[in-house]
Amino acid sequence: MYKIAVLPGDGIGPEVVTQALQVLKKAAEKYNIDLEIKEYLFGGAAYDATGHPLPPETLQGCRESHAVLLGAVGGPKWDNLPVELRPERGALLPLRKELGVYANLRPARVYPQLVESSTLKPEVIAGLDIIVVRELTGGIYFGSKERQEIPGGYKVVETLEYSTGEIARVVRWGFELARQRSKRLTSVDKANVLESSRLWREVVEQMAPAYPDVQVSHMLVDNCAMQLVRNPRQFDVIVTENMFGDILSDQAAQLTGSIGMLPSASLGGGVGLYEPIHGSAPDIAGQNKANPLATILSVAMLLRHSLQHPAAADAVEKAVARVLADGLRTADILTAGCRPVGTAEMGAAVCQAIE
Ligand code: IPM
Ligand code: MG
């Protein structure tokens, strides 16, 4: 029996999670996987109901589960709360930290059916299949921050902290993944400026001899941003620190046609956390417009990494490819000649394709 904690969150979160849950249930039924699914309040929704974006019952429920499926958090409604109560800083980041999920895998794959949806030329992105491994529980996101009043305004100090151990454990994921894939690893840093990046590079160099089969290279983050749009297929596995990974993974997402297509798995703690990389998109929330595929593909990652069920994971991924081949498209990936569908219709079509 596997326990799954579900955190729909805010904005389009609940809509995409509803569809992804249908898909999870369908796959579980087909492959005889016994699930106990419990929903918890999280983010702005939790703040509205309880006064805190990460209520203790939610954290406890996540800790006691095998995996957590998360929609998205945040929205203009909560933007003016004190930072520690805002959904991002008060719920999402503490949840990642508390679960210890330091290795965030963000695969960006261009489905042949979506080559035309990208803003880049088909010949640049066709066949693209890369994965960004983002460090998720350290760096500038979690270092101490302060704001002082000074004459004429304020002065802020934010600290970027990394230890050898924190770097090594996520870089190991990069090497291991590269080993299972095309054996090419790109470590991205800003070693020409940042001390943390110099340490990052040293750690990668120290680990490289243990992976003689992996060809590792270093790239500065500004160059990587350029190379991702110039010739993205030169990459296979990219490993990088928290903030660089945040930025580069949005960029990688757009290569695939839409940020609405990218799932993620956050691993390394006892419990796996699965979420689409997109945000809560308040502008389209509640309108049945959002693309549920990123969350559905996150369910596939959940089946693979937390439930050790590769066959069920494959079935979900194949079902997604199938509905795309059938021409179903949410607004974000719609091109001429395809059938526009809403969130619910897309989810139902994936469920049907699993059968
Ligand atoms: C992401 C998001 C979050 C992040 C935000 C919502 C705090 O952009 O998961 O990429 O920066 O990690
Ligand atoms: Mg982001």
Per-residue pLDDT of the chain (355 residues; tens, 9 = 90+): 999 999 999 999 999 999 999 999 999 999 999 999 999 999 999 999 999 999 999 999 999 999 999 999 999 999 999 999 999 999 999 999 999 999 999 999 999 999 988 899 999 999 999 999 999 999 999 999 999 999 999 999 999 999 999 999 999 999 999 999 999 999 999 999 999 999 999 999 999 999 999 999 999 999 999 999 999 999 999 999 999 999 999 999 999 989 999 999 999 999 999 999 999 999 999 999 999 999 999 999 999 999 999 999 999 999 999 999 999 999 999 999 999 999 999 999 999 999 8
Q: Are 82 and 7 members of one domain?
A: yes
Closest Cα to atom 11 of ligand 1: 246
> Do the domain assignments include residue 118?
no
Helices (H), 208-309: 221-230, 242-255, 293-305
With beta carbons less than 8 A apart as the criterion, state whether 328 and 349 touch.
yes
**Looking at 240, 255, 270, which one is the last position of a domain?**
255
Q: 8 and 82: one domain? A: yes
- Does residue 121 belong to any structural domain of this protein? no
Domain count, the chain: 2
Q: Same domain, yes or no, for 138 and 245? A: yes
If asked whether residues 24 and 86 sit together in one domain, one would say yes
Q: Which atom of ligand 1 is nearest to the CA of 104?
A: 9
Q: Are 7 and 287 in contact (CB under 8 A)?
A: no
Active site residue 289: no
Domain ends where: 239, 255, 271? 255
Helices (H) and strands (E) in the chain, counts: 13, 14
88 in contact with ligand 1, CB cutoff 6 A: yes
Quick one: 244 and 270 in the same domain?
Answer: no
Domain membership flag for residue 123: no
Say whether 154 is catalytic.
Answer: no
pLDDT the model gives residue 257: 87
- For residue 117, being part of any structural domain is answered with no
Ligand 1 binding pocket mutation candidate from 7, 42, 86, 92 (most atoms within 8 A of CB): 92
CATH code for the domain in which residue 183 is found: 3.40.718.10
Choosing from 227, 255, 283, the residue where a domain stops is 255
Give me the amino acid identity at 109. R
Based on the fold, state whether residues 176 and 292 are members of the same structural domain.
no
pLDDT at 114: 92
Q: Which residues surround ligand 2, an ion (CB under 5 A)?
A: 246
**What is the spatial distance between Cα 75 and Cα 252, in angstroms, rounded to a whole number?**
24
Tokens of 208: 């490289």
**Could you list the residue range(s) of the whole structural domain that residue 43 is in?**
1-110+258-355
Say if residue 246 is in the same domain as residue 186.
Answer: yes
